[in-house]
């Protein structure tokens, strides 16, 4: 059975309640001066809900929590979390109306003319194709090129303050940080930032593998970590910027990196379901993964590609030779055989490497640890 983040969060409700009962304090609650209070009392479940699973208490949010049915504090907390997970059933019209009516100032000087205006958030719902055209408008001031990004920033703040779907917004924030992209790194990213934000919001409580695939194919990630130009040849066989972050940040994490190993046969084996994996990754796994992802790019009008902004596979860029990623050795002392066959094709190679890293047990540990730190405690037991 494929687990979603909603399943994980529902399973953690009882854990959080138990930790509170054991005396765990909530992050974000600053201790009073020692002379006034020693701050040894455990945080209430309501405090944990407001400060860990939401962006802080507000009169409306506390009223919603207090109105949640429950015969005990634990039952009310449990029911409130389940209501928050079922976020589409929560009427969020007031927050949506605030975003629709919001206005953002824009001011700059260009070609001896000064623009000083207040505009509505007109780019938030624009299609990816429409946003993409913003980056090719000639002589467009930088303030205009990054306007879509600025509008997402405003909408993010409004949702954090006013949304009734607080746990959902916390998870959107979590995954934006996990799949971090600097929006102003270039004009392609800034102009299409609403599209990247929609990808994160669509998958924030969904399946991790599905989100990983969409993030990998996105304009923002393609340009930020240079996979947009990843072709066979050069270096260790392609541009490894994205592949390095794929392992170190997005999936297995640095705790599962064996920096000084140069032989895969020395890595212990771990099993999950009916599959066996190398329990950790080494540099050669990064190099081979970068080869698997050669040819994954964006249709940006170059090298014979259409100019549609869609994810695009340049098969002529792909390294079709065999590859080995996270493969366990068949016998002690014997190096693993390639688990990506010759002439497998760019799409199959890329999708298989994303499946391997998403399903790896080290990824589960890495992600669940991060989730516990955000939702339970800075140093979770």
What is the secondary structure of 69-105 as a DSSP string? --SSHHHHHHHHHHHHHSGGGS--HHHHHHHHH-EEE
Q: How much is the pLDDT for 21?
A: 42
Q: Answer yes or no: is pLDDT of 10 > 70.
A: no
Closest CA to 376 of 90, 34, 77, 61: 77
Question: Residue 94 — very low, low, confident or very high, per pLDDT cuts 50/70/90?
Answer: very high
DSSP 275: E
Q: How much is the pLDDT for 332?
A: 78
Closest CA to 224 of 260, 177, 187, 275: 187
User: How far apart (Å, rounded) are the C-alpha atoms in residues 184 and 220?
Assistant: 10
Q: Answer yes or no: is pLDDT of 12 > 60.
A: no
Q: How much is the pLDDT for 15?
A: 47
User: How far apart (Å, rounded) are the C-alpha atoms in residues 272 and 141?
Assistant: 52
Q: Answer yes or no: is pLDDT of 8 > 70.
A: no
332-349 tens-digit pLDDT? 778 899 999 999 999 999
User: How far apart (Å, rounded) are the C-alpha atoms in residues 301 and 127?
Assistant: 18
Strongest mean pLDDT among 207-211, 230-234, 371-375: 207-211
Q: Answer yes or no: is pLDDT of 366 > 60.
A: yes
298-331 tens-digit pLDDT? 999 999 999 999 999 999 999 999 999 999 988 8
Q: Residue 242 in contact with residue 180, Cβ under 8 Å?
A: no
Q: Residue 246 in contact with residue 180, Cβ under 8 Å?
A: no
Q: How much is the pLDDT for 263?
A: 81
137-155 tens-digit pLDDT? 778 888 999 999 999 999 9
User: How far apart (Å, rounded) are the C-alpha atoms in residues 290 and 297?
Assistant: 13
Minimum mean pLDDT among 1-5, 110-114, 215-219, 299-303: which range? Answer: 1-5
Question: Residue 30 — very low, low, confident or very high, per pLDDT cuts 50/70/90?
Answer: very low
Q: Answer yes or no: is pLDDT of 24 > 60.
A: no
Closest CA to 347 of 290, 289, 292: 292
248-274 tens-digit pLDDT? 999 999 999 998 887 888 899 999 988
Q: Answer yes or no: is pLDDT of 364 > 80.
A: yes
DSSP string, 314-378: -GGG---S-B-SSPPPSSTT-PPPPSB-TT--HHHHHHHHHHHHHH-HHHHHHHHHHHHHHHT-S
Q: How much is the pLDDT for 5?
A: 56
Q: Residue 241 in contact with residue 227, Cβ under 8 Å?
A: yes
- Other Cβ atoms less than 10 A from the Cβ of 381: the count is 9
Q: How much is the pLDDT for 41?
A: 45
Q: How much is the pLDDT for 259?
A: 87
What value does the mean pLDDT take over residues 172-176?
Answer: 98
Q: How far is CA 366 from CA 189, 207, 281, in A?
A: 27, 16, 13
Closest CA to 252 of 371, 361, 90, 105: 361
- Other Cβ atoms less than 10 A from the Cβ of 140: the count is 15
For residues 233 and 190, the model is more confident at 190
H helix or E strand, kind and range, residue 296: strand 296-298
Q: Answer yes or no: is pLDDT of 39 > 50.
A: no
What value does the mean pLDDT take over residues 190-201?
Answer: 97
Angle between the N-to-C axes of helices 361-375 and 5-21, in degrees from 0 to 180, rounded to the nearest 10: 50
User: How far apart (Å, rounded) are the C-alpha atoms in residues 376 and 97?
Assistant: 32
Question: Residue 189 — very low, low, confident or very high, per pLDDT cuts 50/70/90?
Answer: very high
Q: Residue 326 in contact with residue 256, Cβ under 8 Å?
A: no
Q: How much is the pLDDT for 321?
A: 94
Question: Residue 36 — very low, low, confident or very high, per pLDDT cuts 50/70/90?
Answer: very low
Q: How much is the pLDDT for 110?
A: 87
Q: Answer yes or no: is pLDDT of 18 > 60.
A: no
> Please, which residues have CB within 8 angstroms of residue 249's CB and are 6 or more apart in sequence?
178, 180
The number of CA neighbours under 13 Å toward the Cβ of 14 is 2
Question: Residue 33 — very low, low, confident or very high, per pLDDT cuts 50/70/90?
Answer: very low
Q: How much is the pLDDT for 379?
A: 86
Q: What percent of the chain has pLDDT over 90?
A: 72
User: How far apart (Å, rounded) are the C-alpha atoms in residues 272 and 55?
Assistant: 36
Alpha helices in the chain (DSSP H): 5-21, 45-51, 59-66, 73-85, 93-101, 128-133, 142-145, 147-162, 166-178, 187-191, 193-203, 208-217, 219-224, 241-245, 283-292, 346-359, 361-375
Q: What is the mean pLDDT of the chain?
A: 88
């Amino acid at each position: 059975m494929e687990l979603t983040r909603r399943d994980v969060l529902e399973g953690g409700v009882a854990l959080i309640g138990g930790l509170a009962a054991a005396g765990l304090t909530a992050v974000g609650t600053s201790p009073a001066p020692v002379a006034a209070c020693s701050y040894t009392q455990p945080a209430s479940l309501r405090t944990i809900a407001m400060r860990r699973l939401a962006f802080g208490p507000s009169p409306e949010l506390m009223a919603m929590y207090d109105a949640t049915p429950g015969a005990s504090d634990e039952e009310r907390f449990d029911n409130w979390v389940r209501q928050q997970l079922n976020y589409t059933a929560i009427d969020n019209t007031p927050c949506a109306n605030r975003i629709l009516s919001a206005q953002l100032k824009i001011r700059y000087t260009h070609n001896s003319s000064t623009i000083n205006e207040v505009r509505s958030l007109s780019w938030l719902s624009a299609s990816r194709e429409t946003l993409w055209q913003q980056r090719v408008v000639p002589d467009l001031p930088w303030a205009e090129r990054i306007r879509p990004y600025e509008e997402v920033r405003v909408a993010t703040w409004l949702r954090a303050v006013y949304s009734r779907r607080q746990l959902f917004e916390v998870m959107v924030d979590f995954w934006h940080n996990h799949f971090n992209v600097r929006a102003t790194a270039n004009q392609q990213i800034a102009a299409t930032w609403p599209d990247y934000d929609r990808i994160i919001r669509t998958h924030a409580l969904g399946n991790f593998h599905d989100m990983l695939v969409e993030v990998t194919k996105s304009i923002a990630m393609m340009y930020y970590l240079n996979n947009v130009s990843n072709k066979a040849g050069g270096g260790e066989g392609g541009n490894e910027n994205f592949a390095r972050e794929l392992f170190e940040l997005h999936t297995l994490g640095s705790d599962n990196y064996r920096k000084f190993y140069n032989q895969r046969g020395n890595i212990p084996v771990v099993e999950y379901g009916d599959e066996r994996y190398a329990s950790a990754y080494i540099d050669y796994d990064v190099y081979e993964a970068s080869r698997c992802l050669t040819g994954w790019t964006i249709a940006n009008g170059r090298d014979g590609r259409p100019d549609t902004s869609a994810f695009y596979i340049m098969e002529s860029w792909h390294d079709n030779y065999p590859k080995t990623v996270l493969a366990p050795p068949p016998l002690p002392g014997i190096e693993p055989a390639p688990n990506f066959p010759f002439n497998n094709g760019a799409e199959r190679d890329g999708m298989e490497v994303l499946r391997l890293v998403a399903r790896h047990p080290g990824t589960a540990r890495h992600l669940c640890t991060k989730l516990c730190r955000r939702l339970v405690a800075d140093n979770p037991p």
